[in-house]
Structure 1
């Protein structure tokens, strides 16, 4: 596995997004399956593991902590706060975005306990709480760094302007946002801002939430609890339009001598040494397929054809529904 620089850390060029093991895509795998996948990733050379307080309302951090605590010195651990599960008076758990300093601190301390570690290497603000100045949230995160509970800071789903404000309050090591061939929003402004500030870019959902793997042909088969059911691009009409891109995309993958998922990851790696994709999966075969993308090289001509085929103008539907769009701060295409 090749390495890339993530602030002070040397990490694998492809990390592992751990969310899928506990959250978001229907019924999660068993704890035993999750353990096998985490250890297989470590054995395969993955040295960046990404989790969050939100994923499974703490279950994902608990799994990562239990399985990987014996190997803590071998990898860079990233987690996120500022968006977590809160139990109401009726006993139900709901997602809450809360960037107040006291909430960010509480999230971090809860995460440390679940992860069974003394320090989180990279701690993100999962969402900017727009009711709280970004300087207040990041200021408290900076105090967590001073106290040795966190080593470096990150932000998720923010704009270039918000990144600059946060970075002026405390150095930001990484920005994490959805980025793939079918989600090109970072190219509007924030990717360039990262480069100007020396901030690494961590790309989540790099295979377009499974679309660019080429295996999901019928969205009616999605689990009732799958978050993609709330995403316009996976609405049957939009998805039918998007499926028309796949035959030509798969032909480009064959030309490159790789699988469709590998082509999506290789494209991101090609876009800059400061970009680190973190695909997630529950299946060992997919894990090894994803990691092999680090060895694929693409010609400039193939990249140009790829980008002309799948981009913000050819993809049908927004990436998020109205509620989720209101919660992020990322730039959008007109």
Structure 2
């Protein structure tokens, strides 16, 4: 099992974004959270901007640990903040970072600590060194935060950050249809520096689950319709990768989602790779249990994936224009 800050975590993590954005019934959320722990997914990823100011994954955690205080020590909690989803702007000034961290700590009320803290993006107007030195000196060294992670960063930023403080994890997108990290030096930098890679969206925002066969399977107000890879002209291309991956999953005897998640996890076994923990998001206990299933891919199965990816190029950008990525 992987280890973060000396704490053992499961081979697959649990993302909380979909529980609060859009909002789900509290009891459904609690069932999913309990299923995560029961399935060995004790590394939880939350965010202040997952939801609304009144109801987000931090307020949900407050309610959960109030009801289940015995679970507080079982969870290794990672929290993202310092991002305004309305303006699509990250912020990294000491004053604003302090505001977010103090809010999170205040909501958790001492019931649960923050094991890992990460700014969701790098503020282009504030040197990353300034942001990280502040968090390290005012929160890590004072025992208020266990360690610092990075999110959506380039290999250059990872190396800059590692000169300032210990970086325990990097959270970047990685899946069968998002392989940037395999090509841009991010995984190489993490491997060199002994940093764990948290691979978010390992199911490609649900696309690789195989349950989305046409755009009609998405509601008209589904936010994914705003993402370029779900535009009609790109969807028609990308569904071809989904169909090929589903074929491999059928041969494996697992679900397409399990195959996609475990392909990401299996990358850790390749030479020169860091420890990689997939970070799928789930809203239902049954889906959490499905996503948490570990199935090792054989060398032949990994080679089959490599052959498919060598001939396939995902159509469309990862995010709509204006959302910063890989700074």
Asked if these proteins are the same fold (TM beyond 0.5), I'd say yes
The count of residues paired between Structure 1 and Structure 2 equals: 314
Residue in structure 2 matched with residue 226 of structure 1 by the alignment: 222
Specify which of 26, 34, 37 is matched with residue 42 of structure 1.
37
Task: Give unmatched runs, 5+ long, in structure 2.
Answer: 270-274
In the alignment, is residue 61 of structure 1 matched against residue 84 of structure 2?
Answer: no
Deviation digits for residues 244-268 of structure 1, max 9, x if unmatched?
2233221111111211001011111
Are the equivalent residues in 2 in contact too, given 1:183–1:312 (CA < 8 A)?
A: no
In the alignment, is residue 109 of structure 1 matched against residue 102 of structure 2?
Answer: yes
Matches within 5 A, 1:183-262: 183-188=178-183, 189-223=185-219, 225-262=221-258
Residue in structure 2 matched with residue 156 of structure 1 by the alignment: 151
- Report the alpha carbon displacement of residue 321 of structure 1 after superposing the two structures with TM: 2.0
Are the equivalent residues in 1 in contact too, given 2:88–2:322 (CA < 8 A)?
A: no
2-structure distance, mates of 1:4, 1:270:
13
Residue in structure 2 matched with residue 130 of structure 1 by the alignment: 124
Matches within 5 A, 1:1-334: 3-23=1-21, 27-58=22-53, 59-68=56-65, 70=69, 71-84=71-84, 96-117=89-110, 119-143=113-137, 144-188=139-183, 189-223=185-219, 225-272=221-268, 274-292=275-293, 294=294, 296-310=295-309, 313-324=312-323, 327-329=324-326
- Report the alpha carbon displacement of residue 101 of structure 1 after superposing the two structures with TM: 1.0
2-structure distance, mates of 1:312, 1:183:
14
- Report the alpha carbon displacement of residue 64 of structure 1 after superposing the two structures with TM: 1.7
Task: Give unmatched runs, 5+ long, in structure 1.
Answer: 86-92
C-alpha distance 259-81 of structure 1, shift in aligned 2 (>3 A)? same
With the length of structure 1 as denominator, give the TM-score of the two structures.
0.89
2-structure distance, mates of 1:61, 1:94:
21
Equivalent position SS for 2:33: helix
With the length of structure 2 as denominator, give the TM-score of the two structures.
0.91
Are the equivalent residues in 2 in contact too, given 1:160–1:193 (CA < 8 A)?
A: yes
Deviation digits for residues 117-171 of structure 1, max 9, x if unmatched?
3631000111000110000111111021012110100000000101111110111
Q: Which moved more, 1:260-269 or 1:112-121?
A: 112-121
